[in-house]
Amino acid sequence: MSDVPKESPRAILFQFVFFPLGIVAVAVGIFFLFGKLASDEQTVPDYLNEVRSGGRHERWQAAYQLSQLINAGQAKKYPHLVDDVEAAYRDAKGDDPRIRRYLSMVLGNLGDRRATPLLVEALGDPDPETRIYAALALGRLRDPAAVPPLLKSFSTDERDIRKADAYALGEIGDARAVPALETALNDEIADVRYNAAIALARFGDTHAIGVVREMLDRSRLDRVAAMRPDQKEEIVLAAIPALLKIAPEEVPALLGPLAEKDPSLQVRAAAKQALAERAAATR
């Protein structure tokens, strides 16, 4: 028996994009396989067949494993995979919602914008976690057609959905999202503010600077309840290139202390690199 690990879509991060805090715990959690899945032996068609016709537990497990194979670049071997996954997604309506969540990941990983309409439809799914996965997948596709429905979704009271929507809008990089992202800089939920700030930094929008400073303030992060050390590190690492992008003149003052004293080796290295880039740009 093997475990399905915590699935962190951090692998889909791009520069100036911060993965929404809490989505891993809220949207995925830790799942255990009830049976042996020989992922080193089964193929994409094998898992698709299990998604379609497997038992109660096998179907969502197969969807998860399929998402892992697609991450490994297996989709190139199967030119009709988008159509097949979409069909399986639609057939799973009313079944275990984990099937649709993981198939959303598959569609995002495939990077084929033909999946945009289906994922946009999923933004209205009654299962909030499925909506989160759909938003993250739309961020992967970077299809401007998804911006209006994402903006509509962004007005929800569901905090984790707002986090995912801000992430997706930042990934797509369409200027129509800027006003909503600027408004989100004042969101009561820190994660939403952070995602909005990193998204705006991609546009070079200096309205984000206040929140970027907040993200670089270790003492402030330490006051956020239930935030793990790795989450704090991720926030700071996301904010460093954002600062370099929108307020390079503040790099020495804000990143100098991090380069010298931050407890994270990665943060110290990133801060030193940013300081070096800033110094080179001012010569």
Specify the pLDDT at position 40: 55
What is the C-alpha to C-alpha distance for residues 157 and 184, in angstroms, rounded to an integer?
Answer: 12
Backbone angles phi, psi at 32, to 5 degrees: -120, 135
What torsion, rounded to 10 degrees, do the Cα atoms 220, 221, 224, 227 define? Answer: -170
Ordered per-residue pLDDT tens for the chain, 283 residues: 344 444 433 333 333 344 444 444 444 443 444 444 444 578 899 999 999 999 888 999 999 999 988 865 667 788 889 999 999 999 998 899 999 999 999 999 999 999 999 999 999 999 999 999 999 999 999 999 999 999 999 999 999 999 999 999 999 999 999 999 999 999 999 999 999 999 999 999 999 999 999 999 999 998 877 889 999 999 999 999 999 999 999 999 999 999 999 999 999 999 999 999 999 999 8
Instruction: Say if CB 255 and CB 240 are below 8 A apart.
Output: yes
Specify the pLDDT at position 25: 40
Q: Buried (b) or exposed (e) across 154-191, using 16+ Cβ within 10 A?
A: beeeeebbbbbbbbbbbbbbbeebbebbbebbebebbb
**Domains identified in the chain and CATH numbers:** 3-36+111-281 (1.25.10.10)
Question: pTM for this structure?
Answer: 0.84
Specify the pLDDT at position 120: 98
